[in-house]
A and B are shown apart, each in its own frame.
Chain A
C-alpha cells in the first residue's frame, strides 16, 4: 500500500489490508533503542509495508542522517518479523520525503512526556536561521511550567536539545522539532 507524502502510516493503519495490518501491529511493538518508550510506528519512520506473499517489504526513513539507532532499528524490525514466522524480510530505506517530527503520533508524544522528555512542538521554525533567536517555549515535562530555557541546542542524541525548568529547576531533554 502507498500513501500520500504528508501523512503518516500510523493514521492510516485502519486502511491496510489484513496481512499488512498484522505486520503493522508487529511493528508497533518494535522500539527505538535510544528512546525505548517510542515504537517505530510512534516515531513515524515506517513509510510503507508490503505483504508480497513470499516476502515482506518494509520501507523506513531515517530520523537524522547520522542517527546510529537506524541500523539497530532495521535489525530489530527484521528479528520481530522473523519471530512471527515471516522468513523473507526486505527492509528498504528512503530519504525523500525527509522525516519530520510532525509525523510522530499524538500517542507517541504523550508517551515521551510521561517518560520525562518534552515532545516536539509542531514544526514552525525548523529553518529559522535567525541568530540568537529566543528559545522555543517548551513545556517542562515534570511540572508543566513554560518557564524553561535552553541550555544547549545539541543534547544526548541527535534528536534532542537540553533544557532546564526555571520553576522546578529540573533539567530535561526536549525532542526538538525537525
Chain B
C-alpha cells in the first residue's frame, strides 16, 4: 500500500484537545458514510441497498455534528462545510480503514461490522466524557450505531455461515481488512488529551469480534494489524481519489449552494 508523503501544513491543523478529537470522529464518520453511499442503487437487493444508504445518512449526520463542534472550537470563519470540503488529504485524521474502496458486499459488510463495533464501545465511553458536547453527540449517535452493529453482525454471520461463495468472499475480506484494525486503538495525542481510553474499547471490541466471527464460522486472524498513519494525516492513495469525488463541487465552484 502506497502512502502519500507527509506534507502537513501544521498551521491548518486545529489545536489538539476537543478540536482534534472532534475532527477525527467527524472524518471517520464522513468517509465511511461516503464509501457506503457509493452503494446507492447498487445494493444486492433493494432492502439492503436502503439499509446501507440509511447507515450512510446516520454517519454523515454524526459527522455534521462533530464538524460543527470542531468548527466552533477552531473559531474564526471555520464551519462544517469548509472542514469537510476544503481540507487536503493530509489534514484528514481518519483511520485508514474507512477510506479503502468499498470492495464487494462482503468487504463493505465486514468493514461496517468492525467499525460499528468500534464506534459502539467508543461512544459508550464518550457518553461520560468531561467534554459535554462530545458526550451529547455520543449519546445521540449510539442509538443509531446500535442498529448498525446489529445489522452488520447479522450479515457477517449470514455471509460466513452461508454459501460456499459467500464464505469465500468474506474470508477474503477478513484477510484484507484485518491489517487496518489495529490503528483504531492506537491512541493519538488528541484522544489522550480528551481522556479517551482506547485500551478498554479494544478489549470490548475483540470480545465482540470473537463472538460474531465464531458464529459466522470464521477464524480471527493471528496476523499483525499494523497499517497505521491515518490519525496523523498519512493516508493511502484511496483518500485522494475519494476526496476528488466528495469535494468536487466546492473545489470547482467555490461557495456553491444548492
Distance in angstroms between the alpha carbons of A127 and B127 in the assembled complex:
15
Q: B94 at interface (Cβ–Cβ under 8 A)?
A: no
Q: A97 to chain B: which residues have CB within 8 Å?
A: 139
Q: A67 to chain B: which residues have CB within 8 Å?
A: 57, 61
Q: B136 to chain A: which residues have CB within 8 Å?
A: 94-96, 98
User: Contact flags (1/0) for A105-140 with B, using CB distance below 8 Å?
Assistant: 000000000000000000000111111110000000
Cβ-neighbour of B154 out of A68, A132, A178 (below 8 A): A132
Least CB distance from B164 to A in Å reads: 22
Q: B157 at interface (Cβ–Cβ under 8 A)?
A: yes
Question: Which of A15-23, A52-60, A82-90, A153-161 lies at the interface with chain B?
Answer: A153-161
A129 touches B150 (CB 8 A): yes
A98 touches B59 (CB 8 A): no
Least CB distance from A174 to B in Å reads: 14
Least CB distance from B89 to A in Å reads: 24
Known contacts A153-B147, A178-B143; A131/B58 CB under 8 A: no
Cβ-neighbour of A131 out of B47, B54, B139, B153 (below 8 A): B153
Interface range on chain A (Cβ under 8 Å from partner): 20 to 34
B51 touches A126 (CB 8 A): no
Q: A72 at interface (Cβ–Cβ under 8 A)?
A: no
B58 touches A127 (CB 8 A): no
B140 touches A65 (CB 8 A): yes
Q: A158 to chain B: which residues have CB within 8 Å?
A: 54, 57-58
Q: A178 to chain B: which residues have CB within 8 Å?
A: 143
A65 touches B64 (CB 8 A): yes
B57 touches A95 (CB 8 A): no
Interface range on chain B (Cβ under 8 Å from partner): 35 or more
Least CB distance from A44 to B in Å reads: 15
Distance in angstroms between the alpha carbons of A99 and B139 in the assembled complex:
10
B146 touches A129 (CB 8 A): yes
B146 touches A127 (CB 8 A): yes
Least CB distance from B212 to A in Å reads: 8
Q: B74 to chain A: which residues have CB within 8 Å?
A: none
Q: A151 at interface (Cβ–Cβ under 8 A)?
A: yes
Q: A62 to chain B: which residues have CB within 8 Å?
A: 61, 140
B147 touches A65 (CB 8 A): no
Q: B28 at interface (Cβ–Cβ under 8 A)?
A: no
Distance in angstroms between the alpha carbons of A98 and B62 in the assembled complex:
13
B61 touches A98 (CB 8 A): no
B51 touches A64 (CB 8 A): no
B151 touches A153 (CB 8 A): yes
Distance in angstroms between the alpha carbons of A162 and B46 in the assembled complex:
12
Least CB distance from B53 to A in Å reads: 8
Q: B213 to chain A: which residues have CB within 8 Å?
A: none
Name 10 interchain pairs, CB-CB below 8 A, sorted by A: A65-B58, A67-B57, A96-B136, A98-B136, A98-B143, A128-B150, A131-B150, A152-B50, A155-B50, A158-B57
Residues of A within 8 A of B (CB): 62, 64-68, 94-99, 126-133, 151-156, 158, 162, 178
